[in-house]
A and B are shown apart, each in its own frame.
Chain A
């Protein structure tokens, strides 16, 4: 007999590995407190993925209760089972079991905001017709009590065909235990009796099924009657057979006549909702507090708008001022680490790859994190407190006049830190044309990677002079910011008149009540978004750093190395002490500059020099600009190397070297018109592979990133050309 080795697996691990016992879809209207409840129920046992073919995030969490494993699917918020966006479509497709590799859920957790039963019950009524067990969680039941609303939950459950109704307060956990237990036993929750809010629809669907004699779920036929044939419900129409389309048209005609189906549905269902509300909800006297007075004050147009500008100023201040010390720290740490690596490994390709390629690459990703995290934190806080919707409402008129929408405000503000999170934030814009116009305008905003180049060129070439009471250098920087904003606006206006021309989009914005954000939810979201940023932008920036390093490093010239050795040997004979150290550093910098000149990058710079000659650039500037195309933040380091002051040179040394740089004929390279042109080029060009990648992802096509790149590069080139030739 062979002895089997003893393996002990904890019972809990086996439980975690096996298939979930129950799969429950979490459904609710936007701002119903769905995500807060989901986070409360599942904690950190969540995974985030993507649904196939769309940019909608798939959130799945695991919940253990009564010895069972329950899988919760947190679906995007939707007001109804008719979709108006790809996110809503996904929610509906998951509920109806239409998504590949996702079996239909065993039950529905309907999340209803107790302070907004009116819209919440509209969705619940549709969910009750699915033929699945439904559990209703009444969130924010404490807020409802505070505003004097009383809800008879037993009566409500009765009106909802016996579906259990559980009041919860997600922030404190009140009622969550009871909800957990109910969810664990959701399979034994009886399928609710349809409340018959709209018997005519059910009858029409039954008649259609009887006519065609085919076994299709009634709810699918109901949606087909209301929404008409579309991409998602095509299988249902096909299942109805060859006579399906005709039978469907007949059914629609009988049921709706000339009334649009969505309007008929809204009328019938909301009539039912109002009747249920009269039955289960009593509105006590509204308690007036200082809070309601403050909120009422800031709902007035002028204080509200002033308040919005104050909030935006705080976000700006936080993103730029608070992040600076951390960024300096990261910058210093990366440089020190790189220096110690090249010190330990000596002067060879591997050492340079690690120090100048990998460590610098990781550093250039990590250095963005403080700003990005602070920015994300503020966006999440604004979103979860309900203020974001109000900001969109307040800014809608102004944004609309420039071809955007109120919801473009956060993407645009975010883009002042980095266009990548800005473009990702455009997902909140429901209209496709508004969204794409925002995506094209966002990269013109002055991102933090442009700032170092602005700072260098302004410090070197703009005289430090007072103009009225203002500093000229500061004015030029301000001008560059405004220039970016104006270019973004012109782009949005132009694109709305041409490629994205179309009718004015609908605008209906729910304005949720102000509420305190839930700490746990904020934290989970913050970590999630940081992870997404690192994955999307970080990988691209890192790869780019390695590629640019290789182009600037190879091929190596042995001749230069030999010359350097000789020069150092000579210096050692004649000099000593500080003078020797300085001389050796200078020789090293000269050698690095010579190596760069004959590297692939330097050759490319010389090759394209004729293209940039009309802008007044020599091969050095051209090389630095080429290196900056995949990631504009590397330009300073390349300039430092090419001008032989070292890639970590301070601004003063580098700007002196730039000032003394000469063309072959002895005229200075950096004249004022050339510098202004360079600044314009830099302000316009889309020199960021990470932004291109995120545009590709968010628009789901290569067309838009290619167009954005060509468009912005052309503007930058023409702008720089005009500045150099005319000034």
Chain B
């Protein structure tokens, strides 16, 4: 486990992480929290559309797509392959 956090937008394809902090000020982000993107949720970057935007994540086994600019409001602690 490492203490480095990054934004959701900086993750690599196939990388997993746990959401550590959410910038809640933006109403759009609050809507995303209602969909389950909250602190403590485990998330994986599954891929991206052509051009690298939007991104596709997997949240508890379900696909959810976010634009890059929205993914920046979430910071994650990456999980190593063994975690």
Residues of A in contact with B (beta carbons under 8 Å apart) = 79-80, 82, 84, 115-119, 122, 147, 149, 259-260, 262-263, 265-267, 270-271, 273-274, 277, 299-302, 304-305, 389, 393-397, 406, 504-513
Contact = CB atoms under 8 A, between A and B. Distances in A.
A259 B29 CA distance: 13
Interface in B33-83: 33-36, 38-41, 46-51, 53-54, 56, 59-67, 69-70
Given A263-B30, A263-B33, A504-B69, A510 B54 contact: no
B12 interface: no
Nearest to B41: A270
Contacts of B56: 299, 393, 511
B50 A508 contact: no
Contact of B22 (A122, A263, A506): A263
Interface of B: 22, 24-25, 27-36, 38-41, 46-51, 53-54, 56, 59-67, 69-70
Contacts of A300: 47
29 contacts: A80-B34, A116-B60, A116-B62, A117-B60, A122-B36, A147-B61, A260-B25, A260-B27, A260-B30, A262-B34, A263-B24, A263-B33, A265-B34, A266-B34, A267-B33, A267-B39, A271-B38, A271-B40, A273-B36, A299-B56, A301-B51, A304-B49, A305-B50, A505-B28, A507-B65, A508-B65, A508-B70, A511-B65, A513-B62
Contacts of B48: 301
B31 A397 contact: no
Nearest to B61: A115
Contacts of A509: 54, 64-65
Contacts of A389: 65
A79 B54 CA distance: 21
Given A82-B34, A511-B65, 8 more contacts: A118-B60, A122-B36, A270-B40, A393-B54, A508-B31, A508-B64, A508-B65, A510-B65
B64 A511 contact: yes
Contact of B35 (A147, A274, A510, A513): A510
Across chains A and B, which 4 residue pairs bring their CB atoms closest together, nearest first?
A: A511-B63, A506-B28, A266-B33, A118-B60
A301 B47 contact: yes
A119 B38 contact: no
A395 B65 CA distance: 12
Given A262-B30, A299-B46, A506 B70 contact: yes
Given A260-B24, A263-B24, A396-B49, A510 B64 contact: yes
A270 B38 contact: yes
Contacts of B70: 506-508
Nearest to A430: B31
Contacts, number: 125
A48 B23 CA distance: 42
Contacts of B69: 504
A397 B54 contact: yes
B12 to A, nearest CB: 14
Contacts of A122: 34, 36
Contacts of B49: 301, 304-305, 393-397
A302 B22 CA distance: 31
Contact of B50 (A274, A301, A506): A301
A393 B66 CA distance: 9
B66 to A, nearest CB: 6
A82 B32 CA distance: 13
A505 B69 CA distance: 11
A512 B24 contact: no
Interface centre among A80, A508, A513 (most CB of B within 10 A): A508
Given A270-B36, A305-B49, A397-B53, A510 B62 contact: yes
B36 A118 contact: yes
B47 A299 contact: yes
Given A259-B24, A260-B30, A118 B53 contact: no
Given A504-B69, A508-B66, A266 B50 contact: no
Nearest to B49: A394
Contacts of B51: 301, 397
A300 B70 CA distance: 21
Given A119-B62, A299-B56, A511-B65, A262 B50 contact: no
Nearest to B25: A260
Contact of B67 (A262, A274, A396, A513): A396
A300 B13 CA distance: 10
A79 B31 CA distance: 10
A508 B32 contact: yes
Contacts of A505: 28
Contacts of B41: 270, 274
Nearest to A301: B50
A118 B32 CA distance: 14
A302 B48 CA distance: 10
Contacts of B33: 262-263, 266-267
Contacts of B38: 266-267, 270-271
Nearest to B60: A118
Nearest to A116: B62
A209 B41 CA distance: 34
A444 to B, nearest CB: 25
Contacts of A117: 60
A397 B54 CA distance: 7
B66 A507 contact: yes
Nearest to B66: A508
Contacts of B64: 508-511
A461 B49 CA distance: 44
A260 B23 CA distance: 11
Nearest to A305: B50
A346 B47 CA distance: 70
A507 B35 contact: no
A397 B50 contact: yes
Contacts of B36: 118-119, 122, 266, 270, 273
Contacts of B66: 507-508
B54 A507 contact: yes
A406 B49 CA distance: 11
A271 B33 CA distance: 12
A87 to B, nearest CB: 15
B55 to A, nearest CB: 9
Contacts of A79: 34-35
Interface centre among B27, B32, B63, B69 (most CB of A within 10 A): B63
A148 to B, nearest CB: 10
Contacts of B25: 260
Contacts of A80: 34
Contacts of A277: 60
Nearest to B13: A300
Contacts of A508: 31-32, 35, 64-66, 70
